[in-house]
Amino acid sequence: MFLRRILIFLFLLPLLSAVRAQRYDSIRASLITCSPGQEVYALYGHTALRLQNFTRGQDLVFNYGVFSFSQPHFVWRFVRGQCDYMVVPIPWKYFTREYEERGSSITAQVLNLTPSEAARLYACMLEDCRPENRQYRYNFLYNNCTTKVRDAIERCVEGRVVYPDSIPLYTYRQMLRQYTAAHPWAQEGNDILLGSAVDTALSARAAMFAPEYMLRYAAGAFIYADNNDKRPLVMDTEILLQKRPQAVAPEFPLSPVQAMLVLLSFSLLVLLLERWLNRQFWLWDAVLLLGQGTAGLLLLFMLLFSEHPAVDSNWQIWVLNPIALIALPRVVKAAYKRQKTLWHAVFSVPGCHKNSEN
């Protein structure tokens, strides 16, 4: 009886291996890259992972870029950089519909995974989508939808992924400006809020926070297996949805530079009128101090209380700071009386009367 079971097992072993291989081979994994859109939240593009299980008839996109407005205190948490994003499986046809409507392209890079690696990646994604695992603390530069997909692929590969070093490296700020070139006010917002930490040269791995850069690095990457075999990470690349040209609607009639020139010109005009009329326009002083102080209050809040990346190294706080709000009542009062204060002396604001107050 025992010998009979051994013979049956040996006979069925090739069949079982074939069934297992067939199950593995039915899974195809693709790195999905969506091109940037025109909305502020879509300026940098998007990355997702497509898994097609042909045996089960499933075609799912595992999307790490999902968040819910119904989360408690969402706006307050967003300002403080405490957003919890989650990964959810989305049917392919519903995923593509959004990007087709906004005119973005979708590029699929079919990953060159072994059957066991593809099966492991599929199981890993299902595990990540469990209610207790699906949420993660989102960070725009260090832990976003692109880096999460990259890390998942690396975690399931039998070996290690080596990326090319021939792609030019930039700083975070230079990379962000590449995507906001047609949106000057979004670019100005980044430059004001982000500090010196975004001005250091990046490593290749750090540059993969941007979806299109991840696409370029994946295209030249190789998998070095544990047995020292080498194979390209990407087996095939296909553009599944072609980008439609869209006109960029102006965010504001003036660019930031033009707006600052208008402000400067008006300030010089006020200065000349003050000299000519020998008086001070306290209302304009109040507007300038209020603007400076409000901007400084925002920078101070981000510096002290926000978890957003690189805002804690923003040394513009020395120029734009909330001290102006403290000085505002005294400066306005002195200007109304045609007097000067210590604030005027420090900032070299010309006065119109010889009297001064400290």
Residue type at position 177? R
**What confidence category does residue 321 fall into, taking pLDDT thresholds of 50, 70 and 90?**
confident
Tell the residue number behind the tokens 């879509």, with chain if given: 42
Tell the residue number behind the tokens 């001005």, with chain if given: 199
The backbone torsions φ and ψ at residue 279, rounded to the nearest 5 degrees and listed phi first, read -155, 170
pLDDT over 50 at 22, yes or no: no
pLDDT tens string 30-82: 999 999 988 877 889 999 999 999 988 999 999 999 877 676 776 677 778 78
pLDDT over 60 at 351, yes or no: no
- Which has more confidence, 250 or 80? 80
Domain 28-241 has CATH 3.90.1720: yes
User: How many helices, marked H, and strands, marked E, lie in the chain?
Assistant: 13, 10
Q: Note whether 265 and 259 are within 8 A (CB).
A: no
In this structure, the number of other CB atoms found within 10 A of the CB of residue 243 comes to: 17
pLDDT tens string 127-165: 999 999 999 999 989 999 999 999 999 999 999 999 998
Q: Is 146 helix (H, G, I), strand (E, B) or coil?
A: helix
- Report the percent of the chain where pLDDT is more than 90: 49
Q: Between 256-277 and 184-193, two packed helices, what is the crossing angle to 10 degrees?
A: 70
pLDDT over 90 at 112, yes or no: yes
Q: Could you give the CA distance from residue 126 to residue 51 in angstroms, rounded to a whole number?
A: 11
Average pLDDT of span 95-100: 90
Among 197-206, 264-273, 333-342, the range scoring the smallest mean pLDDT is 333-342
pLDDT of residue 160: 94
Domain boundaries, the chain: 28-241, 256-346
The 8 Å CB, 24+ separation contacts for 274-279 are 274/350, 274/352, 275/350, 275/352, 277/352, 278/352, 278/353, 279/338, 279/352
Q: Could you give the CA distance from residue 150 to residue 135 in angstroms, rounded to a whole number?
A: 17
Q: Could you give the CA distance from residue 338 to residue 167 in angstroms, rounded to a whole number?
A: 61
In this structure, the number of other CB atoms found within 10 A of the CB of residue 106 comes to: 22
Q: Could you give the CA distance from residue 222 to residue 163 in angstroms, rounded to a whole number?
A: 7
pLDDT of residue 132: 94
